[in-house]
């Protein structure tokens, strides 16, 4: 019985020590996102698209100020681009709007600037589950007369349509955009400022390693700015 009591007391002590080093917070903010490809298939249409994110942060600080940082967030992104398709006419204006559940795992270092301010640079990886945010505008250059055709598409389901060939009756042009992947992962680096031990301002850059669409070798990247509170 004494051994059991000592074991429970030791376990309680260790759990309290660990919980004292774990800091849970919430944050929210905006993001700017676009896509790139190694074969230059993706061309920007205007600037980077603006979105938002909201999430929970979980940080664990080791001795000597090293930190393990994680959490989970809901993020919505959007961007406009021009996509060519094989030898067919281009998709001159394609909008992609997506929802994401993002879980990062980063290593950081807590730099104490003053009693009220600390800076935490960090670097790591993230995993993202991507899902539909609804239908998006899609402009197509008609393969028969070159006129603009305005459609709607769901990026997570792709797009496919047939257009009759004006020169060869009975033949059709089939224009397609592959669906985007649900699961991707990438790298992330950022800087968090903590004021008075509770208030945070974070900035980070993320870039996908796993392509979100193999047809155009598309990878998303972007910037995030968030404010938050640590409990």
All structural domains of the chain = 22-226 (2.40.160.20)
Does the predicted model carry a pTM greater than 0.75? Answer: yes
CA distances from 105 to 49, 73, 122, 209 (A): 25, 12, 10, 15
Contact 176, 158 (CB under 8 A): yes
Contact 138, 91 (CB under 8 A): yes
CA distances from 183 to 19, 79, 157, 180, 213 (A): 32, 19, 14, 9, 11
Burial class (CB in 10 A: 0-12, 13-18, 19+), 22: exposed
Tell me the pLDDT of the chain (231 aa) as tens digits: 665 566 545 544 444 444 457 899 999 999 999 999 877 778 878 889 999 999 999 999 888 899 999 999 999 999 999 887 665 557 889 999 999 999 999 999 999 999 999 999 999 999 999 999 999 999 988 877 778 889 999 999 999 888 776 666 667 777 888 999 999 999 999 999 999 999 999 999 999 999 999 888 899 999 999 999 999
């Amino acid at each position: 019985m004494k051994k059991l009591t000592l074991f429970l007391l030791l376990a309680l002590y260790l759990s309290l020590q660990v919980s004292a080093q774990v800091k849970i917070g919430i944050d929210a903010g905006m993001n700017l996102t676009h896509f790139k490809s190694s074969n230059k298939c993706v061309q920007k249409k205007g600037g980077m698209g603006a979105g938002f994110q909201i999430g929970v942060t979980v940080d664990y600080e080791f001795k000597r100020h090293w930190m393990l940082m994680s959490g989970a967030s809901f993020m919505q992104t959007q961007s406009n681009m021009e996509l060519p398709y094989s030898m067919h006419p281009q998709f001159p204006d394609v909008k992609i709007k997506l929802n994401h559940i993002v879980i990062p795992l980063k290593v950081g270092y807590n730099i104490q600037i003053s009693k009220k301010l600390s800076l935490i640079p960090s670097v790591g990886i993230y995993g993202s589950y991507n899902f539909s945010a609804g239908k998006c505008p899609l402009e197509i250059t008609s393969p028969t007369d070159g006129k603009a055709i305005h459609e709607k598409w769901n990026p997570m389901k792709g797009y496919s349509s047939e257009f009759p060939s004006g020169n060869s009756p009975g033949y059709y042009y089939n224009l397609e955009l592959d669906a985007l992947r649900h699961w991707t992962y990438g790298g992330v680096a950022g800087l968090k400022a903590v004021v008075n031990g509770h208030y945070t301002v974070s900035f980070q850059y993320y870039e996908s390693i796993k392509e979100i669409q193999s047809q155009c070798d598309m990878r998303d990247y972007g910037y995030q700015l968030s404010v938050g509170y640590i409990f």
